[in-house]
A = this chain, B = another copy of it.
Amino acid sequence: MVEPFDVVDLIHTKRDRGALSPEQIRWLVDAYTRGYVGDEQMAAMTMAIFLNGMGREEVRDLTLAMVASGDRLDFQGLSKKTTDKHSTGGVGDKITLPLAPLVASFGVAVPQLSGRGLGHTGGTLDKLESIPGWRASLSPEEFLSQLESVGAVICAAGAKLAPADGKLYALRDITGTVESIPLIASSIMSKKIAEGTAALVLDVKFGSGAFLQDPVRGRELAETMVRLGTDAGVATVALLTNMNVPLGLAIGNANEVRESVEVLAGGGPADVVELTLALAREMLALAGLPDADVEAALKSGAAMDTWRAMITAQGGDPDAALPTPKHTQVVTAPRSGVLVRQDALPFGIGAWRLGAGRARQQDPVQHAAGIDLHAKPGDVVTAGQPLFTMSSNDGDRFERALEAIEGAYEIADPGTAVETGGALIQGRITA
């Protein structure tokens, strides 16, 4: 075939702060997917995009080109409305686990295609795989059948959805171009648009444990994604949430499942409950149920019933004991006072080093590894009381984990300002 464009010309255009046309972007993504444009050429292009940015139309065209690179699911035959949620990822972010069954308990379908963790942010599938028997891979028929019967499905996205994004994300990961708003937005939204959900709630995190530290950049990312979803016919809303502090008390895999089950049982840490309820209300409102009493569904056990049905449908035993670690180490408070700081990123890195996360895509994770916090910022602590417990199957991992966490928390005199970066939910962005 005769190629309509020269990739070096396109790189020059972006390098020199020009804009790529819809035809150029469509060709670029297609040519990259089929291997005509090489990884080294796409790496130069993504660095130019990282440094010079992209206009609104370019981000839209890039997103739609990545959707067009693969299949697009269709839930026309389903008797339920679909609504989904995506989080940009953070430390201790297990919200999908209680959220999907809670929302599904109202008769709405939640087709949650998830990923695995890489680096210090965990992956929903890694957490659920702590549950004996549970499997992440479903056939398209199993997926649709479970959506109809249970309502909630959390499973692995097949390679057929937005394959260009899969290829491009792996490239960005090794070439230092992850933290770019046009590239993050198009990556997330291409997968969610291809997934076929009618409605989408985005949890866009900012702060130490998030992709983007700066709330202003977080808001920009949220606005970009809401626009992309809306333009593609997906009803989209975003919450802008604070990720300066770990979410909840559990950071890891099995311990995050335990905490999620506490929330489904009507308990659990206040911040996890607050965010779960807020996201559930948004998802249900987009599905036409603005008045759903989501707190009642937690108290009544309706959400827990859906959780058990969801786990069972995917081969898991909701009553089975979760894995326990071979080694634990408790860190105690060096003094009495108020815990005024608990920095998300170092705790995320610590849990990762304990074995809860992976450094490379093909690495396994330890399901019992991680960190359990025993105090949160604002709590009064006494010298010698446990502050957090580290867990791992490898005793030699504790030292490196502690290196990461050292200096990440601080106990001060009563009255000292608590450094959390403010409220958990800081903004709501709509089309």
Contacts and interface: CB of A to CB of B under 8 A. Distances in A.
Interface of A: 8, 11-12, 15, 38-44, 46-48, 50-52, 171, 174-177
A174 B47 contact: no
Nearest to A48: B47
Indicate how many identical chains form the complex.
2
A281 to B, nearest CB: 38
Contact of A47 (B8, B47, B171): B47
A379 to B, nearest CB: 35
A176 B15 contact: yes
A43 B175 CA distance: 8
A40 B176 contact: no
Nearest to A52: B51
Q: Which of A44, A46, A51, A177 counts the most B-chain CB atoms under 10 A from its CB?
A: A44
Given A41-B176, A44-B46, A47-B48, 6 more contacts: A11-B176, A15-B47, A15-B50, A39-B39, A40-B42, A48-B176
Contact of A44 (B8, B15, B47): B47
Given A40-B39, A43-B43, A8 B48 contact: no
Contact of A176 (B8, B52, B175): B8
Contacts of A38: 39-40, 174
A39 B40 CA distance: 6
Contact of A40 (B15, B43, B51): B43
A40 B8 contact: no
A188 to B, nearest CB: 21
A51 B39 CA distance: 19
Nearest to A44: B175
Contact of A175 (B40, B52, B174): B40
19 contacts: A8-B175, A8-B176, A12-B176, A38-B39, A39-B43, A40-B40, A40-B171, A41-B43, A41-B174, A41-B176, A43-B43, A43-B44, A44-B44, A44-B46, A44-B47, A44-B177, A47-B48, A48-B176, A51-B51
A150 to B, nearest CB: 40
